[in-house]
Amino acid sequence: MKLIVQKFGGSSVRDAQRIRNVAEIIADTYKAGNKVLVVLSAQGDTTDDLIEKAQEINPRASKREMDMLLSTGEQISIALCAMALEGMGLPVVSLCAWQVGIHTTAVHSDARITKIEAERIQRELDKNKIVLVAGFQGVDRNGDVTTLGRGGSDTSAVALAAAFRADLCQIFTDVDGVYTTDPRIVPDAKKLPAITYDEMLELASQGAQVLHNRSVELAKKYHVDMEVVSSLERKPGTKVKEVVNMEKTNIAGVAKDTSIARIAVVGLAHNPGVAFRVFDLLGKAHINVDAIIQSIGRESSKDISFTLPRADVEEAVKVLENNKSVLRFDHVTVEDKIAKVSIVGAGMMTTPGVAAKMFEALYDANINIQMINTSEIRVSVLIDEENATAAVRAVHEKFFGGED
Amino acid sequence: MKLIVQKFGGSSVRDAQRIRNVAEIIADTYKAGNKVLVVLSAQGDTTDDLIEKAQEINPRASKREMDMLLSTGEQISIALCAMALEGMGLPVVSLCAWQVGIHTTAVHSDARITKIEAERIQRELDKNKIVLVAGFQGVDRNGDVTTLGRGGSDTSAVALAAAFRADLCQIFTDVDGVYTTDPRIVPDAKKLPAITYDEMLELASQGAQVLHNRSVELAKKYHVDMEVVSSLERKPGTKVKEVVNMEKTNIAGVAKDTSIARIAVVGLAHNPGVAFRVFDLLGKAHINVDAIIQSIGRESSKDISFTLPRADVEEAVKVLENNKSVLRFDHVTVEDKIAKVSIVGAGMMTTPGVAAKMFEALYDANINIQMINTSEIRVSVLIDEENATAAVRAVHEKFFGGED
């Protein structure tokens, strides 16, 4: 008998009809002879409604009380979904994080799971019950409610799958899998039957928003087989696992990220420790820097460029300017009309010519490359934002064009 | 330093403005140098909205899952109210029943409190925090969420006041206290400064809907001083306690109940055990019988009359008819156009002529009495429903008319 963990997001449970649909998926999995452990998010707009209520009363409410408030959303979802399964005559029990014993750090609104107790869930599974667990929430060592931050319910699901050594952790979403690129941009984008953790991580951090990196990292660490699958259509999704037997192509997908900007610090002294000081200051200001390129500029000085989320540009420039006397640079330039296009694939580095093939596609499309940045399984280029869509299409066509 | 327990009902916290108002009352109590322990109900229509969501999915949902669902309402209230107090710069913490350790029986939707743990609340009070507790909810020995049924938040408040030996348990409501009768019927009804537990119990069970009997019974058992007070106007309410120094009058109030019916079982055999069998059968069918009168009818037979909630009439008649062969009666009559008018007062039985004064008032008003039923601190009469309002006015005028 297999144990399947299934996670349904907010839009999958947004109203009574969608909840009944979710209950049917769960029921089918259960009736097929599996043990089923389900993680649910809050219904559609519930979280937003609760945040609005809080804003009206106190826009600077403590994170502890926000967690207390927001955690009711998932509790409502599990109770309603349990009722739907009861209506189908199936044995079911809903459990909040404190009832399971999902222990976390005490960092309200961004807690990390430290331990999951087995006892209660195991007892219910042993009674052949379908177990519904409230996602996104935990309980800290003080007995206070915490929430896990962005991607929290995915993380709850993978953590439970790891704790109970589930055979599969299915993440149900609006999309039916992971594609070779965004199907809204390239209509003949192909759904991947499978992808490795590392490819998924690179795709996600390069702009594909199917799964949160945090949950994929956890899945990789504990060898949890995941599947991204549609809650609306019954068809196979994309498996995310350790090793994937890639056949005809050696890249998994093409991703685009237009939420970034580039900052250049021009005219830094050509001394040791300059780069350290720049990124140490930015790190202390909680600014997440992505690609970094250092080039030697004029005599005895150098320039450092880096990309970062556009939302952080203002703060980053402030940090740099405030420390101009310490860092001793000439000036800072900001370029925010840029985009990053990446190809991701596990076999990339062992297959010669992959990067060259990408650059050729861009050259043929007459798209200028501003910066290049690579990892073991990824090649990213920085280009003008206005060329982003054309670049994705050209690169996708180059790698996937002949297939079907 | 005194410890005050304050309970606010659903209408007192129904929106942001009302929550701010409640926060101000709490803040004033705290700033006056008291320790404050607060119990909150769910916001206005929240419970109804949640019930509607459940109905849409499964009208016969289990009580366990209903409790899981409904308990979120109080959790939302305590979090929002905590945020309001945080906005006023006051130290505050909100706690669900499972965090406090409000242990109950495992009877979902109608649980009884078995034990309240002191540790968590005491720790927070010792830190000089205002403590907000979710009313209406508890946790059973399985670690499942329970709810306390009707009047649950009042019961939570009194139980907490008893457990922490609070100096006062204030129940904030829409009305500003307990009146000598319903002010909608008798405009010059007077607010009582104080009333005994027993009087409050009799008034409540005779139709006054200010406090639930369950909370008053608990307050009586543990000698908790209560006060019924308005959440909208800052003025003294009505104290409910062990002994009240009643001065000018020896009755506390006049109550009316028009939700009852009378059933007569006519022509029962005049044998021992007949009354036992009748009420044993009704009791097993969970029918709450109020006043009982047994009269000898024709030779060798007797009639038994009793009052009961109108909602139970159909079931009661069915029980009686189904057991006609065992009980051996002639026939059953039902009268549901009746009302019960009661006077309640602790000093009643030691003050001669109180009952006679009530009967005189009804005689003067030309109102016929069908049945009389008394307890140590109450006299009730059964009259035609159409005379109920006139009867209350006449009796109230007789006892309170000259006062001011």
Does A4 have pLDDT greater than 50?
A: yes
Measured over the CA atoms of residue B109, residue B113, residue B119 and residue B122, the dihedral's sign is positive
Residues on chain A touching B86 (C-beta within 8 angstroms): 58, 60-62, 65
Does A351 have pLDDT greater than 80?
A: no
At A248, the pLDDT band (50, 70, 90 cuts) reads very low
Does B381 have pLDDT greater than 80?
A: yes
Residues on chain B touching A132 (C-beta within 8 angstroms): none
In angstroms, rounded to a whole number, what is the distance separating the alpha carbons of residues B384 and B368? 8
Helix (H, G, I), strand (E, B) or coil at A233: coil
Does A256 have pLDDT greater than 50?
A: yes
Helix (H, G, I), strand (E, B) or coil at A14: coil
Residue A165 CA: distances (Å) to CA of A122, A222, B80, B279, B392? 12, 9, 39, 58, 71
In angstroms, rounded to a whole number, what is the distance separating the alpha carbons of residues B108 and A364? 70
> Would you state the pLDDT for residue B50?
95
Residues on chain A touching B46 (C-beta within 8 angstroms): none
> Would you state the pLDDT for residue A379?
86
At B299, the pLDDT band (50, 70, 90 cuts) reads low
Question: b/e per residue, A58-78, with b = 16+ CB within 10 A?
Answer: beebbebbbbbbbbbbbbbbb
Nearest Cα to B117, choosing from B135, B130, B131, B98?
B98
Nearest Cα to A393, choosing from A177, A204, A248, A187?
A187
Query: Does any CB of chain B come closer than 8 Å to the CB of residue A134?
Result: no
B 170-209 residues with CB < 8 A to A: none
How deeply is A338 buried, as exposed, middle or buried, from its count of CB atoms within 10 A (0-12, 13-18, 19+)? buried
> Would you state the pLDDT for residue B346?
76
CA B178 to chain centre: 12
Does A225 have pLDDT greater than 60?
A: yes
Residues on chain A touching B54 (C-beta within 8 angstroms): 79-80, 83
Whether residues A16 and B60 touch (CB distance < 8 A) is answered with no
> Would you state the pLDDT for residue B78?
98
Nearest Cα to B344, choosing from B135, B200, B218?
B200
In angstroms, rounded to a whole number, what is the distance separating the alpha carbons of residues A91 and A76? 18
Nearest Cα to A261, choosing from A311, A303, A302?
A311
Range from A122-126, B1-5, B376-380 carrying the lowest mean pLDDT:
B376-380
Residues on chain B touching A129 (C-beta within 8 angstroms): none
> Would you state the pLDDT for residue A392?
94
At A209, the pLDDT band (50, 70, 90 cuts) reads low
> Would you state the pLDDT for residue A354?
81
Q: Name the residue ranges covered by the structural domains of chain B.
A: 3-173
Identify the closest residue of chain B to A65 by CA–CA distance: B79
At A298, the pLDDT band (50, 70, 90 cuts) reads low
State which of A180-194, B276-290, B386-400 shows the largest mean pLDDT: B386-400
CA B91 to chain centre: 33
Residues on chain A touching B137 (C-beta within 8 angstroms): none
pLDDT above 90 coverage of chain B, percent: 58
Query: Does any CB of chain A come closer than 8 Å to the CB of residue B17?
Result: no
Does B288 have pLDDT greater than 50?
A: yes
* DSSP-assigned states of every residue in B63-107: HHHHHHHHHHHHHHHHHHHHHHHHHTT--EEEE-HHHHTEEE-S-
In angstroms, rounded to a whole number, what is the distance separating the alpha carbons of residues B176 and B172? 8
> Would you state the pLDDT for residue B207?
57
> Would you state the pLDDT for residue B403?
53
Nearest CA to CA, how far is B337 from chain A (Å)? 41
Whether residues B76 and A79 touch (CB distance < 8 A) is answered with no
- Ramachandran class of B352: left when φ > 0, alpha when ψ lies in -120 to 50, beta otherwise: beta
In angstroms, rounded to a whole number, what is the distance separating the alpha carbons of residues B305 and B279? 11
Average pLDDT score over residue span A77-91: 98
Query: Does any CB of chain A come closer than 8 Å to the CB of residue B62?
Result: yes
Q: What φ, ψ does residue A390 adopt, rounded to 5°?
A: -60, -40
Task: Summarize pLDDT for B32-69 with one digit per residue, the tens.
Answer: 999 999 999 999 889 999 999 999 999 999 999 999 99
Task: Summarize pLDDT for A313-346 with one digit per residue, the tens.
Answer: 999 999 999 999 888 888 999 999 999 999 988 7
Does A246 have pLDDT greater than 60?
A: no
Does A160 have pLDDT greater than 90?
A: yes
Average pLDDT score over residue span A233-262: 81
In angstroms, rounded to a whole number, what is the distance separating the alpha carbons of residues A149 and A137? 9
In angstroms, rounded to a whole number, what is the distance separating the alpha carbons of residues B260 and B309? 4
Query: Does any CB of chain B come closer than 8 Å to the CB of residue A99?
Result: yes
Tell me, what amino acid is at A392?
A: V
Helix (H, G, I), strand (E, B) or coil at A338: strand
Whether residues A68 and B79 touch (CB distance < 8 A) is answered with yes
Does B301 have pLDDT greater than 80?
A: no
Average pLDDT score over residue span B141-163: 94
> Would you state the pLDDT for residue A403?
54
Residues on chain A touching B69 (C-beta within 8 angstroms): 75-76, 79-80, 83
> Would you state the pLDDT for residue B380?
87
Query: Does any CB of chain B come closer than 8 Å to the CB of residue A1?
Result: no
A 251-310 residues with CB < 8 A to B: none
Task: Summarize pLDDT for A47-83 with one digit per residue, the tens.
Answer: 999 999 999 999 999 999 999 999 999 999 999 999 9
Task: Summarize pLDDT for A134-153 with one digit per residue, the tens.
Answer: 999 999 999 999 999 878 99
Tell me, what amino acid is at A171?
A: I
**CB within 8 Å of A64: residues ≥ 6 apart:** A108, A144, B93
Average pLDDT score over residue span B213-228: 92
- Asked if B146 and B67 count as a contact pair (C-beta separation under 8 A), the reply is yes
Token pair belonging to B94 = 């909100």
- Asked if B332 and B321 count as a contact pair (C-beta separation under 8 A), the reply is yes
Average pLDDT score over residue span A255-261: 90
> Would you state the pLDDT for residue B248?
47
Q: In what order do the strands lie in the sheet with A292-296?
A: A292-296, A301-309, A260-269, A331-335
Query: Does any CB of chain B come closer than 8 Å to the CB of residue A97?
Result: no
In angstroms, rounded to a whole number, what is the distance separating the alpha carbons of residues B311 and A305? 79
**CB within 8 Å of A227: residues ≥ 6 apart:** A168, A169, A170, A171, A237, A238, A239, A240
Sort strands B130-134 and B92-95 into parallel, antiparallel or unpaired: parallel
* DSSP-assigned states of every residue in B320-348: HHHTHHHH--SEEEEE-SEEEEEEE-TTG
Whether residues A79 and B62 touch (CB distance < 8 A) is answered with no
Residues on chain A touching B20 (C-beta within 8 angstroms): 57
In angstroms, rounded to a whole number, what is the distance separating the alpha carbons of residues A279 and A320? 10
Token pair belonging to B387 = 């005379």
- What residues pair up with A130 in beta bridges, in sequence order? A92
Token pair belonging to A20 = 């009944």
Nearest Cα to B253, choosing from B202, B324, B312?
B202
Whether residues A62 and B76 touch (CB distance < 8 A) is answered with no
Does B145 have pLDDT greater than 70?
A: yes
Helix (H, G, I), strand (E, B) or coil at A342: strand
> Would you state the pLDDT for residue A383?
92
Task: Summarize pLDDT for B103-128 with one digit per residue, the tens.
Answer: 999 999 999 999 999 999 999 999 99
Q: Which of the pair, A39 or A276, is modelled with greater confidence?
A: A39
Identify the closest residue of chain A to B70 by CA–CA distance: A76
Nearest CA to CA, how far is B42 from chain A (Å)? 12
What is the fold of A3-173?
Answer: Carbamate kinase (3.40.1160)
- Asked if A349 and A340 count as a contact pair (C-beta separation under 8 A), the reply is no
Average pLDDT score over residue span B67-86: 98
Chain A with chain B: Cβ pairs closer than 8 A: 113
Query: Does any CB of chain B come closer than 8 Å to the CB of residue A57?
Result: yes
- Asked if A81 and A17 count as a contact pair (C-beta separation under 8 A), the reply is no
Model pTM score = 0.81
Average pLDDT value for chain A: 89
Average pLDDT score over residue span B190-215: 81
At A129, the pLDDT band (50, 70, 90 cuts) reads very high
Identify the closest residue of chain B to A96 by CA–CA distance: B68
Does B286 have pLDDT greater than 90?
A: no
Query: Does any CB of chain B come closer than 8 Å to the CB of residue A339?
Result: no
Nearest CA to CA, how far is B192 from chain A (Å)? 36
Residues on chain B touching A137 (C-beta within 8 angstroms): none
Query: Does any CB of chain B come closer than 8 Å to the CB of residue A88?
Result: no
**Mutation for A interface: B80, B124, B130, most A CBs within 10 A:** B80
What single DSSP character describes residue A96?
Answer: -
Does B198 have pLDDT greater than 70?
A: yes
Residue B209 CA: distances (Å) to CA of A391, B175, B179, B213? 72, 10, 11, 9
Residues on chain B touching A62 (C-beta within 8 angstroms): 82-83, 86
Query: Does any CB of chain B come closer than 8 Å to the CB of residue A93?
Result: yes
In angstroms, rounded to a whole number, what is the distance separating the alpha carbons of residues A392 and B288? 75
Does A202 have pLDDT greater than 90?
A: no
**CB within 8 Å of B4: residues ≥ 6 apart:** B29, B34, B35, B36, B37, B166, B167, B168, B169, B170
Helix (H, G, I), strand (E, B) or coil at B384: strand
> Would you state the pLDDT for residue A280?
85
CA A111 to chain centre: 16
At B347, the pLDDT band (50, 70, 90 cuts) reads low
How deeply is A228 buried, as exposed, middle or buried, from its count of CB atoms within 10 A (0-12, 13-18, 19+)? buried
Token pair belonging to B394 = 């006449």
Does A219 have pLDDT greater than 90?
A: yes
Residues on chain B touching A54 (C-beta within 8 angstroms): 79-80, 83
Q: How many CA atoms lie within 13 A of A178 on its CB side?
A: 31
> Would you state the pLDDT for residue A373?
79
